[in-house]
Chains A and B, each alone.
Chain A
């Protein structure tokens, strides 16, 4: 333990901790900007400066380790003045566009300006002028709003290991951008949006498609339907101001109806369907000698990652489309026919915790109904904004139910939102289908939690099924490298692009951090427990779908509508 004094308070803390950690113990709040716990600890912004007795300069609390006998002052007039000037400098190179900025009222820079009481900016010199990059269907980069904190670089490089972003040029001209200043759409960026989740400002944001949805809703000819991803119900509450971990299913459904959607459906339905298709695919591969391990394919960022960095392993991917795209394909075929609606008039909206889904719905493979299967994807953040625009106080709406049939689901579909959920759902079904016995407990605890790579062996009848579950692409890499090296004897691997799975997706409410992820995960399993049906193969609507339309898993129609193929893309440089 290290003993030190902060603002005249004695504090003891473990060696290796920072001044910032220690200050938290004594309740001294030190402002930060570039710092992001566990992700970005680089001491770049210099907002967190404190006074340390005997030090030649001020010291950045976020990176400076504590030392025995250290005497720290966090709030002397001179240190406050210095921080304020640093912030004033940052603001002097910032477009003052809060009123028209997506991050208005949810921006760390803006909050700092307010907390510091910045009332004037005395510098009227040059400002960073780089063009906005809106090439990507998912994200927009506006370097003018970038404070060069490099959180995005850290998350993209260290967590996702995509390395799409880097610092270029130097000095005042420093730019955080795709290498060689490529457009985000034209390179290895997997559109996961983790960068937008950690960005403290409006410099990387989701592409806002809210107006497209308003336009469709306003069009009387359009039959506008919406699907909501599993994770959205444990996120939307936050997007409209509720506590993290709030379950918001019924309110969200009610809110969507009030917005004017003709039908409110649930991606959980096609999550259940995915389990039937994918579970059967797995059994087929195991029994007929297909490529193993088989890897899940519901996370579009992961698909793009594999296409770029592991094109040689594409055969390992399940051919199943993601639940979003299965839904899209069925909505404009099965549902259209059943409801007697012209698929040309259907406008299919999807609410996702994900930016990569915006990219996915535009892929050329995703037009199997004869139309673009999903017309537009809104992130949880965008739907939150729509609710606000509509003046809906969703928290106080009476809860409502999803529409049938594409809104009927089980707990297995629900847990798709958390890392390990797809695996757990698959195990619930595969076990019962293979053994013909009923599972005593449907809870596969080994699948759950935030651990980067989870492994388990589950006895299914005679077969010990070896599985692995990864979240965050850096963790996927570990397992993929094992496969490449021929050292992986798994049968089935679940890969989620984002840390924690979809509940921590790039389109989630901001902030999203480990703590909040854990709360959303808890909420997800609570929701699962509340469901009457918890196994995908028990979903009556899915059974009906097969009877009325698809005939059987992996059948001809399934093949056409629910399965896809992949494109090796490789790495540009």
Chain B
């Protein structure tokens, strides 16, 4: 790729070919079926539906007039397999292979939507056929997942059609490195990997750090159980990450990037690998990109799988092929990252924001969200909630909106009890805080955190002691074992909670838990230990009575804990 014109030409041509996805009927093609190929839909056998559909298309002799494309996760995974049929933008759900014929013969060939496969809002009589009208999507704002409804993740030209690589072109041709950093700073973008540090500042530190070469790293370790936001981006829109990293490379003066992906994500690795190859082919990675004298390339590193490898210093060690164990900071990666060289390390979701910020400008971005938290955030909804899956909402959306409006509330008319945000070491937030507009600060104030965006909903049947034990069990397992407070302290906390949940709790156990929790938070080496006590502290803060019941009355009101005789 040698010029913006060249890119524009590809964009225009491809747009023309994809007009049908913008709702404009085509003379040569009858339909584009965007079949969700995310993990959820794969496990509900969307590929069987695809096969059936292909068979039906051939049978009807229109195979060459319909494209079927496997996209990244569309969000409402519990309704999977889901699909969108263009040009009508009709949203279908819970597809079975046997439904394929109806979609082909009724919808695609005759223009009659298949009513029984359409989405219906809870309580509504009439279905909502068009994807844009669906309440579930209407409340969301898609910046990071901007492409998941529209593009074929294996097509670089699809990506380009939707303005892909235009930001890189702009950054290389029209902007100065300092200007790029300034723009990212001004946008207010903060790291989506958990800590919420200003990305622009991080880039600035790295740009100013002594030492060369410099590196750009993408953290795609995504170890939080149940989280798959990053996976959805990597599988659904790999070029957005590549483009973001290349822009950063220009900004900080790096020529090499690494994307660290966990081995459990083979499809993400495959898609990324392919995307990197294509980007090289198109001259969007490699030498003298956009004729701007800028070289940049990316390698994939496959993670060993431990949760703690997602912690930045551990991840950097792991990239170097060593045991992935955190080390004390400073030095921060900005000064001493991969091979001791200045390194920017950002999360997948953070990277995917970058092209939009550069293209549309910091002011556009900064207008979305709250005072201190800008843009959108993807959450993975799980637990006792009607619509599980992933959602992308503007910062500042309240928990209530997410749980009850987008998430569709609690199944089986049960009462909401709490929502745990932030992954295994986030806190449990009770109903009284449901109207909290979510951003980094507000979640912290109520004893939880943004984390990477896990959101687990609990109903009245959930025992909070049991839940705290569950999360603690996870961190005890995942502690790397390097520092004493985390290695031994979390184990002791688990043992205490375990005895409480067995009916063997002792007077003073709650206070002992709090003492341990406070000390672990303030002395552990890395974020894992420093946040590990959150589930316990927050459940004690909001549900202390349940602990007391277990200890004093040997009673579990939810009948979850089994007491020893």
From known contacts A42-B328, A58-B522, A82-B522, infer whether A172 and B482 are also in contact, taking CB-CB under 8 Å.
Answer: no
Complex alpha-carbon distance, A171 and B490, angstroms: 9
The yes or no answer to B435 lying at the interface (CB within 8 A) is no
Which of chain B's residues have a CB closer than 8 A to the CB of A92?
488, 492
Whether B492 contacts A89 by the Cβ 8 Å rule is yes
Segment from A5-13, A59-67, A331-339, A387-395 that makes contact with B: A59-67
* Contact A44:B479 (CB < 8 A) given known A147-B484, A172-B491: no
Q: In the bound complex, do residue A172 and residue B485 qualify as a contact, i.e. CB atoms below 8 Å apart?
A: no
Pair B512/A65 contact, Cβ less than 8 Å: no
Stretch of A121-129, A401-409, A491-499 with 4 or more beta carbons under 8 angstroms from chain B = A121-129
B327/A82 in contact, CB under 8 A: no
* Complexed CA–CA distance, A195 and B493 (Å): 32
Minimum Cβ distance to chain B for residue A514 (Å): 24
Separation of A122 and B496 alpha carbons in the complex (Å) = 11
Q: B330 near A: Cβ within 8 Å?
A: yes
Report the Cα distance A60→B478, complex, angstroms: 22
Closest Cβ of chain A: how far from B230's Cβ, in Å? 23
Question: Is A85 an interface residue when CB atoms closer than 8 A count as contact?
Answer: yes
Residues of A6-52 at the interface with B, using a CB-CB cut-off of 8 Å, are 42-47, 49
Also in contact, A167 and B523, with CB within 8 A (given A89-B488, A122-B512):
no
**Is B306 located at the chain interface by the 8 A CB criterion?**
yes
With contacts A57-B523, A90-B484, A171-B480 known, is A123 near B495, CB below 8 A? yes
Which residues on the B side are within 8 Å of A43 (C-beta)?
327-328, 483, 525
A276 to B106, CA, bound (A): 103
Q: CA–CA, A64 to B482, complex, Å?
A: 17
Contacts of B488 on A, CB cut-off 8 Å? 89-90, 92-93, 172
Name which residue of chain A comes closest to B475, CB basis.
A171
Most buried by A among B476, B482, B524: B482
Of A92, A125, A174, the most chain B CB neighbours within 10 A belong to A125
Determine, out of B196-204, B268-276, B513-521, the stretch whose residues face the partner at the interface: B513-521
Interface size for chain A: under 10, 10 to 19, 20 to 34, or 35 or more residues? 35 or more
Cα of A148 to Cα of B480 in the assembled complex, Å: 12
On whether the beta carbons of B484 and A89 are closer than 8 Å, the reply is: yes
In the assembled complex, A100 has its CB within 8 A of some CB on chain B: no
- Cβ B481 vs Cβ A169 within 8 A: yes
CB distance from B5 to the nearest CB of A (A): 50
Instruction: Output the nearest chain B residue to A82 by Cβ-Cβ distance.
Output: B519
| A170 adjacent to chain B (CB < 8 Å) | yes
B482: A residues at CB distance < 8 A: 42, 44, 148, 167, 174
Residues from chain B with a CB closer than 8 A to the CB of A86 are 484-485, 489, 519, 523
Residue B487 interfacial (CB < 8 Å) = yes
Q: Which residue of A lies closest to B499 (CB)?
A: A125
The answer for the CA separation of A562 and B65 in the assembled complex, in Å, is 92
How many whole Å from A165's CB to the nearest CB in chain B?
13
Q: How far is the CB of A455 from chain B (nearest CB, A)?
A: 29
Assess A45 versus B522: contact at CB under 8 Å? Given A57-B530, A93-B488: no
Inter-chain contact B328/A64, CB cutoff 8 Å? yes
Contact (Cβ within 8 A) A44 B522: no
Q: Kindly list chain B residues whose C-beta atoms are within 8 Å of the C-beta of A42.
A: 327-328, 482
Interface residue B174 (Cβ < 8 Å from any Cβ of A): no
Q: Mark B449-477, 1 if CB is under 8 A from A, else 0.
A: 00000000000000000000000000011
Q: How distant is A94 from chain B, measured CB to nearest CB, in Å?
A: 10
A96 to chain B, nearest CB (A): 15
Taking a contact as CB atoms closer than 8 A, the residue among B306, B515, B523 that contacts A58 in the complex is B523
Q: Which residue of A lies closest to B529 (CB)?
A: A46
Instruction: Tell me how far the C-beta of B379 lies from the nearest C-beta in chain A, rounded to whole angstroms.
Output: 25
Inside 8 A of B479's CB, which chain A residues have their CB? 170-172
A73-97 contacts to B, CB under 8 A, are 81-82, 85-86, 89-90, 92-93
B484 pairs with A45, CB closer than 8 A: yes
Q: Which chain B residues border A489 with CB–CB below 8 Å?
A: none
Check: B323 CB closer than 8 A to any chain A CB: yes
Judge if A345 is at the interface, Cβ distance under 8 Å.
no
Complex CA distance for A126 and B478, rounded to whole angstroms? 17
Asked whether A148 lies within 8 Å of B530 as measured between CB atoms, the reply is no
Q: Does A481 contact B (CB under 8 A)?
A: no
Closest to B489 in A: A89
| Contact B515–A174 (Cβ < 8 Å) | no
Q: With an 8 A cutoff between CB atoms, is A173 at the interface?
A: yes
Q: Which residues of B contact A170 (CB under 8 A)?
A: 306, 308, 478-481
Q: Complex: how many Å from CA A481 to CA B158? A: 55
Which residue of A58, A60, A89, A126 has the most chain B CB atoms within 10 A of its CB atom? Answer: A89
Q: CA separation between A171 and B528, bound complex, in Å?
A: 11
Which residues of chain A are near B530, meaning CB under 8 Å? 57
Residues A167 and B323 in contact in the complex (CB < 8 Å), given A57-B523, A63-B328, A85-B516: yes
State the Cβ distance, B303 to closest chain A Cβ, in Å. Answer: 15
Are the CB atoms of A174 and B328 closer together than 8 Å?
no
Assess A125 versus B495: contact at CB under 8 Å? Given A42-B327, A171-B478, A172-B479: yes
Q: Name the distance in Å between A89's Cβ and chain B's nearest Cβ.
A: 4
A396 to nearest B CB, angstroms?
43
In Å, the complex CA distance between A86 and B521 comes to 12
**Interface pair B327/A171, CB less than 8 Å apart:** no
For A170, the closest partner residue in chain B by CB is: B481
In B144-191, which residues have CB < 8 Å from any A CB?
A: none
Q: Kindly list chain A residues whose C-beta atoms are within 8 Å of the C-beta of B489.
A: 86, 89
Q: Which residues on B sit within 8 Å (CB–CB) of A60?
A: 328, 525
A171-B476, A171-B478, A171-B479 given; A49·B523 CB < 8 A:
yes
Minimum C-beta distance from B97 to chain A (A): 44
- Which residue of chain B is the closest to A166 with respect to CB atoms? B323
Bound form: Cα–Cα A125–B496 in Å: 9
Nearest chain A residue, comparing its CB with the CB of B308: A170
Chain A residues near B490 (CB-CB < 8 A): 171
Docked Cα-Cα span, A236 to B541, in Å, equals: 59
Taken residue by residue from 134 to 155, chain A's Cβ proximity to chain B (1 for < 8 Å, 0 otherwise) reads as 0000000000000110000000
A90 / chain B contacts, CB cutoff of 8 Å? 484, 488
* A85–B484 CA distance with the chains assembled, in angstroms: 10
Chain B residues whose C-beta falls within 8 Å of the C-beta of A167 in the assembled complex: 323, 325, 481-482
Q: Residue of A at shortest CB range from B525? A: A43
A27 to chain B, nearest CB (A): 24
Contact indicator B484/A46 (Cβ below 8 Å): yes
Q: Which residues of B have CB within 8 Å of A63?
A: 328
With A57-B530, A148-B481, A167-B323: A172-B487 Cβ-Cβ less than 8 Å: yes
Shortest Cβ distance from A39 into chain B, in angstroms? 16
Complex partner residue of A148 from B484, B491, B516, B523, CB under 8 angstroms: B484
Q: Is A57 in contact with B521, judged by CB distance below 8 angstroms?
A: yes
Interface pair B487/A171, CB less than 8 Å apart: yes
List B contacts of A169 (CB < 8 A).
481
Which residue of chain B has its CB nearest to the CB of A57?
Answer: B522
In contact, A126 and B483 (Cβ under 8 angstroms): no
* Residues of chain A contacted by B519 (CB below 8 angstroms): 81-82, 85-86
Cα A86 to Cα B479 in complex, Å, equals 16
- B476, B483, B490, B516 interface centre (most CB from chain A within 10 Å): B483
Known: A65-B330, A93-B488, A125-B495. Is A46-B523 also a contact (CB below 8 A)?
Answer: yes
* With A57-B522, A60-B328, A82-B519: A46-B483 Cβ-Cβ less than 8 Å: yes
CB-CB nearest 3 A-B residue pairs: A174-B481, A43-B328, A125-B495
User: 9 other contacts beyond A126-B491, A167-B481, A170-B478, with CB at 8 A cut-off?
Assistant: A43-B525, A44-B482, A44-B483, A44-B484, A46-B485, A58-B523, A85-B515, A89-B488, A89-B489
Q: Using CB atoms and an 8 Å cutoff, list the residues of chain B in contact with chain A.
A: 306, 308, 323, 325, 327-328, 330, 476-485, 487-492, 495, 512, 515-516, 519, 521-525, 530
Mark A residues whose CB is within 8 Å of B.
42-47, 49, 57-58, 60, 63-65, 81-82, 85-86, 89-90, 92-93, 122-123, 125-126, 147-148, 166-167, 169-174
Interface CB pairs A-B, < 8 A, 24: A42-B328, A45-B484, A46-B485, A57-B523, A57-B530, A60-B525, A65-B330, A82-B519, A82-B523, A85-B516, A85-B519, A86-B519, A89-B485, A89-B489, A122-B512, A125-B491, A126-B491, A126-B495, A148-B484, A170-B481, A171-B476, A171-B477, A171-B479, A171-B491
